[in-house]
Amino acid sequence: MARDPFRLIAQAQAEYARCIDDDRLEAWPDFFAASCVYKITTAENLREGLEAGIIFANSRDMLRDRVSALREANIYERQSYRHILGQPCILSDDGAEVRSETSFLVMRTVQDGDSQIYATGRYLDVYAISGESAKLRERIVVCDSSRINTLLAIPL
């Protein structure tokens, strides 16, 4: 089959979401290239040119550290997350790097309770494509709401 970045990215997104929702956070950094940017910010900050972000990492090792910190801090509240993603929009493709944008919705469920909307927004991604492998070189997570828990537990 010919190289198909849309398909590769759609599958990478689905596996990324599954990894987090299954609480296999130790595998989450493997979706990124060794040198990468991961940032969580809000639509308001982005609009106002505020660079800071709520969470920032610029290497896969920093992502691993973050997972370790999350595990240590873990309050054993029984809750689970469910990502539902839209189709990726391919914005550019130079053969090695593909820029894409994908809407997301994340719901949170406390074990015996209702499911609630936890976050909505979009991923601004740069994927490094090589053969059948698609790794995130950059993921900016832009949340629609500015009211984000700064102790934000899980990766988005």
Q: Which residues bind its own copies (CB under 8 A)?
A: 1-2, 4, 6-7, 10-11, 13-15, 17-18, 21, 43-44, 80, 82-90, 101, 103, 105, 107, 109-117, 119-122, 144-147
CB of 91 to its own copies, least distance (A): 10
Q: Which lies closer to its own copies via its Cβ, residue 54 or residue 62?
A: 54
Q: Which lies closer to its own copies via its Cβ, residue 53 or residue 121?
A: 121
Beta strands in 1-156 (DSSP E): 32-42, 55-57, 79-85, 89-93, 97-110, 115-130, 133-143
Q: Which lies closer to its own copies via its Cβ, residue 7 or residue 71?
A: 7
- Mapping DSSP to helix (H, G, I), strand (E, B) and coil, where does residue 81 land? strand
What is the Cα–Cα distance from 8 to 134, expressed in whole angstroms?
7
